[in-house]
Structure 1
C-alpha cells in the first residue's frame, strides 16, 4: 500500500513539473514567441524588431553619452564599436527577397548611426592630441539617422501587414 501511494505521489509530481515547465507550445517560459516555431517571414520580422530595438538603444546611449572627459569618450568608443558590430550583423543577415528593402533601410540606419558617432569620437581624438590641421567635420550624416529610421519603420509595418494577411 505504501509503495502504491509513493508511486502515485511521484507520478503526480512528475506530471505537475512537466506541465509547469511546458507552458504553451509556441511560447517560451517568458511568454515570448519561440523562434523555432515561426515561419521564415515571422522569424525575419521578429529578428528585425530585435535589431531595431537594440540599435535604437545604442543610438540613444550614444546621443546621451556625456563627452566631458576621456573616460566619457572611451564609453562612446565602446558604443560606436557595438553599433558597428550590429551593423555588420544586419548586413550579413540572410532574408527572404521580399525583405531586402527593409534590410537595406535598417542597414542605412545602422551605418549612418555608426558614421555619425564615429565622427564625433574621432573629432575628440584629434582635439586631444592637438591636431588642428583637420578640416571641419561634416555632420550631415547625423541628420540622416532619423530619416533612415523612419524609412525602416515604414518598410517593417508593410512587411507586418503583408505577413498577417
Structure 2
C-alpha cells in the first residue's frame, strides 16, 4: 500500500477487522488514507464523515436482502458506498483492491461467501470501477496492466 501512496493514491477503507485494517496498516501517512466508519466509536474511531442519505439508499439498491439488516448492519453496508464513491457520493474510486474468500470481482459473481465486501463490489460494478481481488488468479498482473493503461501510476 505504501507503493500506491507514494504514487499519490489515497486509500479509502472502512476500519473493519481483516483486509481493511491490513490495507490501512500499509499506509504510514495520514494524508494518504481516508477511513470511513459507520458510527462514532466504531473500532474506537471517531466518525469524521456522517453517512449521507444516498449511502443509506445504496443499501436498498445493492444488498440482496436489505429488509433483513439491523440498523447497525445497514450502517456498515452504507459505509461501503462511501468507500467506493467518497464522502460526498460523487467521486468514484479509480479501482478497488480487496480480498474475499471466493475471489469475487463483480456484482455478477457475488455469492454469500463474498461477505460484506460484496456490497462494495456491487457498487463498484454499477459505477464501472474495476475490482481486483487478491484471491483471484493473476490479479497483480491485471492490476499493473490496468494501472499502466489508465495512468493510475
TM band (smaller chain): under 0.3
Q: Which has the higher helix share?
A: 1
Q: Considering only CA atoms, is the larger Rg found in Structure 1 or Structure 2?
A: 1
Structure-1-length-normalised TM-score = 0.25
Structure with bigger RCO (C-alpha 8 Å, 6+ apart): 1
Q: Which has the higher strand share?
A: 2
